[in-house]
């Protein structure tokens, strides 16, 4: 970083707050205010103000009986997000390869990031001359296709409202849902079914079938899906595809520590 830019944007208060968090370790899991002030070399009054702010945002906990501070659950939550993002693609990779080989369809893995659908892995069906334009790293509207709508289905309603306000529904094809109430009903149906079938709503003539991937907390952290030409499969074939996609998503979820019936409610 340029020294001038670094100095311009340098924030001393943020640095001090981070120093407080970094004062904890495996050997020092609980510290009093006096101990923290001594470690970070700040007046107790300054340390207290910073600790109160960190407590407000759940980065610190305070035990009223022992008068000691310890790291808060917010750090555990954020750490889980980092762990999930790093491990999701690695864990999912062999399952995506197996599913692509079994179904002979193009396979995708996506996550919701910065209010957009992001593709983080893909397996092409090399025997099919048609290639999907979405590649690893491609970003789409949060409601795009089989992955976007499925991921939105497992978000809190307030987050769904925020996404739709920021990026209103747009008709991608003649089959796309653009009515908000109808879209929200769609999300409820997806949650109830546990999978989603996109019948040409993102790309004309293309069907996508997707299912959620959950982590150890029960949170939906990603979605897998397969895409194929709509006229290439009959109803029996689609039933088999649904079973395979759902089963693969469940296997990946188990690798991430998810136990069916446990975790946070969706």
Domain CATH code at residue 16: 1.10.10.10
Domain CATH code at residue 233: 3.30.450.40
What pTM did the predictor assign?
0.67
Are 53 and 151 within one domain? no
Would you say residue 208 lies in a domain? yes
Output phi, psi for 91, to 5 deg: -70, -40
Are 122 and 34 within one domain? no
* For residue 95, pLDDT beyond 80: yes
CA-to-CA distance for 72 and 62, rounded, in angstroms?
9
CA 112 to chain centre: 5
Domain around 88 = 79-255
Helix or strand or coil: residue 76? helix
Assigned token pair, 241 = 């595809």
CA dihedral 28→77→264→181, nearest 10 degrees, is 160
* For residue 126, pLDDT beyond 70: no
Would you say residue 261 lies in a domain? no
% the chain with pLDDT above 90:
70
- 58 CB burial (10 A radius; 0-12, 13-18, 19+): middle
Average pLDDT of the segment spanning 52-69: 95
* For residue 229, pLDDT beyond 50: yes
Average pLDDT of the segment spanning 196-225: 94
* For residue 264, pLDDT beyond 50: no
Would you say residue 168 lies in a domain? yes
> Which of 71, 99, 121 is where one domain is finished?
71
Helix or strand or coil: residue 234? coil
């Amino acid at each position: 970083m340029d020294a001038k830019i670094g100095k311009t944007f340098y924030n001393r208060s943020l640095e001090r707050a981070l120093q407080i968090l970094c004062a904890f370790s495996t050997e020092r899991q609980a510290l009093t205010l006096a101990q923290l002030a001594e470690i970070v070399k700040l007046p107790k009054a300054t340390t207290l103000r910073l600790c109160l702010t960190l407590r407000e945002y759940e980065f610190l906990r305070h035990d009223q009986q022992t008068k000691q501070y310890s790291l808060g659950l917010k750090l555990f939550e954020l750490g889980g997000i980092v762990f999930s993002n790093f491990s999701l693609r690695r864990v999912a990779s062999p399952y995506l390869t197996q599913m692509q080989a079994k179904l002979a369809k193009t396979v995708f893995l996506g996550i919701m990031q910065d209010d957009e659908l992001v593709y983080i892995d893909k397996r092409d069906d090399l025997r099919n001359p048609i290639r999907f334009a979405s590649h690893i790293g491609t970003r789409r509207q949060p409601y795009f296709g089989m992955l976007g709508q499925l991921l939105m289905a497992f978000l809190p309603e307030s987050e769904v409202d925020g996404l739709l306000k920021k990026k209103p529904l747009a008709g991608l094809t003649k089959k796309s849902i653009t009515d908000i109430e109808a879209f929200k009903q769609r999300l409820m149906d997806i949650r109830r079914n546990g999978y989603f079938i996109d019948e040409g709503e993102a790309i004309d003539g293309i069907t996508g079938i997707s299912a959620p991937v959950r982590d150890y907390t029960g949170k939906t952290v990603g979605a897998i899906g397969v895409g194929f030409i709509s006229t290439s499969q009959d109803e029996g074939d689609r039933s088999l595809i649904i079973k395979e996609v759902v089963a693969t998503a469940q296997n990946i979820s188990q690798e991430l520590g998810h136990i069916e019936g446990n975790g946070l409610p969706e």
